[in-house]
């Protein structure tokens, strides 16, 4: 008897999928070395020295399980955000938390609204639980709030996903527009407001915590992966009404958090001076990426994230050729996967040496493409 006969019909029907091909896989596939890792929206400036030192001090205790209640980190986050600990749930990165949200809400056939070309890992979870994805095109490289709202109402959707600032385009909406969107949603629809890049956005782009904290159908997801430089540690959190957040205890992996990752997150919250320094570095790197693009006749889009989307002026085939060409020079970048967004390439911020390699390789690739 085939092992596949033991799987559910849904699992048997799903394709094996990796939402993002990592630079390690590209190195294995192509037999090359990545010299500039500026494609995965990681923070190449890295975490604060105080974080590394805190992890080093606690490394010998790695034999212990992490506190399954995540008490210390929840308390620290609550103090940082100005909420109660009961308003916060900690998890293994936003990706894992998105999976839990989908698990709690989506059944086979449940309508879920998102943007066409938006974050593919969310879609991966929805499809994995049998949800019915309803997608809304971007408008002028921003997620279409009116279109998302109309789709929710038309489809009687139980869940809608919206990222602000946005991945993969780096665009954003002002806070008042986001609050108005949330309040216009039916109470039966849960909003996942993904704020992974909230620290790197301009002033006024992130709603105050108080503006949405009393809404039971809003869950805001944030992470230590981007501005704090801890992508490999996998620490994310959800902010919401206590009753809504409490539901995570029904489905989460209580021993899923890494003990040293928790130590790192606690140290990161204490070192806000380093965070400010890194945010300055991110802004400067965005400016440099834009300058490199303009010098080569390409058009950088305004960005509120730790990456810059660059309009290459043609189609997805041309953009893909640039991505592939840069890989041959050891420069790893990515691109959006859906037209018309895929006319762009996407370059993450990074240290000077990485951007030097990008600046050196890009004209060679463009010249080879003609």
Read off the pLDDT of residues 109-121 as tens digits, 9 standing for 90 and up.
999 999 999 999 9
The mean pLDDT of 181-195, rounded to a whole number, is 98
Strand partners, 113: 134, 160
Nearest to 252 by CA among 8, 66, 10: 66
H runs (alpha helix) in the chain: 9-13, 23-30, 49-58, 71-81, 93-105, 120-128, 145-155, 175-184, 209-212, 242-246, 259-270, 272-295, 316-328, 352-369
- Per-residue model confidence (pLDDT) at position 1: 46
- Per-residue model confidence (pLDDT) at position 68: 97
Read off the pLDDT of residues 323-336 as tens digits, 9 standing for 90 and up.
999 999 999 999 99
Is the confidence at residue 212, as pLDDT, over 70? Answer: yes
Cα–Cα separations (whole angstroms), residue 132 to 110, 158, 197, 311, 340: 6, 10, 27, 31, 23
Is the confidence at residue 194, as pLDDT, over 80? Answer: yes
Read off the pLDDT of residues 292-317 as tens digits, 9 standing for 90 and up.
999 999 999 999 999 999 999 999 99
- Per-residue model confidence (pLDDT) at position 216: 97
Cα–Cα separations (whole angstroms), residue 319 to 36, 115, 170, 237, 369: 18, 21, 17, 34, 10
- Per-residue model confidence (pLDDT) at position 18: 81
- Per-residue model confidence (pLDDT) at position 4: 57
Q: For all residues of the chain together, what is the average pLDDT?
A: 96
Read off the pLDDT of residues 38-82 as tens digits, 9 standing for 90 and up.
999 999 999 999 999 999 999 999 999 999 999 999 999 999 999
- Per-residue model confidence (pLDDT) at position 75: 98
Nearest to 229 by CA among 350, 334, 95: 350
Q: How many CA atoms lie within 13 A of 166 on its CB side?
A: 28
Read off the pLDDT of residues 257-293 as tens digits, 9 standing for 90 and up.
999 999 999 999 999 999 999 999 999 999 999 999 9
CATH 3.90.1150.10 intervals, the chain? 20-46+273-369
Look at domain 20-46+273-369 and name its CATH class: alpha beta
Percentage of the chain modeled with pLDDT above 70: 99
- Per-residue model confidence (pLDDT) at position 366: 98
- Per-residue model confidence (pLDDT) at position 2: 54
φ, ψ of residue 300 to 5 degrees: the values are -75, 140
CATH 3.40.640.10 intervals, the chain? 49-270
Percentage of the chain modeled with pLDDT above 90: 95
Here the tokens at position 109 are 């056939």
The mean pLDDT of 347-363, rounded to a whole number, is 98
CATH of domain 49-270: 3.40.640.10
Is the confidence at residue 100, as pLDDT, over 50? Answer: yes
pTM score of the predicted model: 0.96
Read off the pLDDT of residues 231-255 as tens digits, 9 standing for 90 and up.
999 999 999 999 999 999 999 999 9
């Amino acid at each position: 008897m085939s092992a596949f006969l033991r799987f559910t019909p849904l699992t048997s029907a799903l394709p094996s999928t990796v939402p993002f091909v990592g630079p390690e896989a590209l190195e294995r596939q192509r037999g090359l070395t990545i010299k500039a890792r500026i494609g995965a929206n990681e923070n190449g400036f890295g975490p604060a020295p105080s974080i590394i030192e805190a992890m080093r001090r606690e490394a010998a205790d790695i034999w212990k399980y992490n506190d399954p209640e995540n008490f210390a980190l929840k308390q620290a986050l609550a103090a940082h955000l100005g909420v109660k600990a009961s308003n916060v749930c900690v998890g293994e990165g936003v990706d894992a938390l998105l999976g839990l949200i989908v698990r709690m809400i989506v059944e086979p056939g449940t309508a879920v609204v998102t943007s066409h070309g938006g974050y593919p890992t969310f879609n991966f979870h929805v499809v994995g639980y049998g949800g019915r994805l309803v997608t809304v095109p971007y408008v002028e490289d921003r997620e279409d709030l009116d279109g998302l709202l109309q789709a929710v109402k038309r489809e009687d959707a139980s869940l809608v996903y919206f990222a602000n600032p946005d991945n993969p385009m780096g665009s954003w909406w002002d806070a008042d527009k986001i609050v108005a969107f949330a309040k216009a949603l039916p109470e039966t629809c849960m909003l996942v407001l993904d704020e992974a890049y909230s620290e790197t956005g301009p002033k006024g782009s992130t709603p105050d915590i108080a503006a949405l904290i009393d809404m039971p159908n809003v869950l805001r997801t944030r992470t230590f992966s981007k501005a704090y430089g801890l992508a490999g540690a996998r620490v994310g959190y959800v902010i919401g009404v206590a009753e809504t957040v409490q539901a995570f205890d029904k489905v989460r992996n209580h021993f899923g958090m890494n003990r040293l990752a928790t130590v790192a997150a606690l140290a990161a919250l204490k070192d806000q001076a380093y965070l400010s320094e890194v945010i300055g570095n991110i802004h400067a790197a965005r400016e440099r990426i834009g300058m490199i693009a303009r010098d080569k006749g390409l058009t950088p889009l305004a960005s509120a994230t730790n990456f810059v989307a660059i309009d290459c002026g043609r189609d997805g085939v041309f953009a893909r050729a640039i991505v592939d060409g840069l890989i041959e020079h050891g420069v790893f970048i990515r691109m959006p996967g859906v037209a018309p967004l895929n006319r762009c390439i996407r370059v993450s911020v990074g240290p000077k040496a990485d951007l030097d390699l990008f600046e050196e390789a890009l004209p060679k690739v463009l010249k080879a493409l003609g």
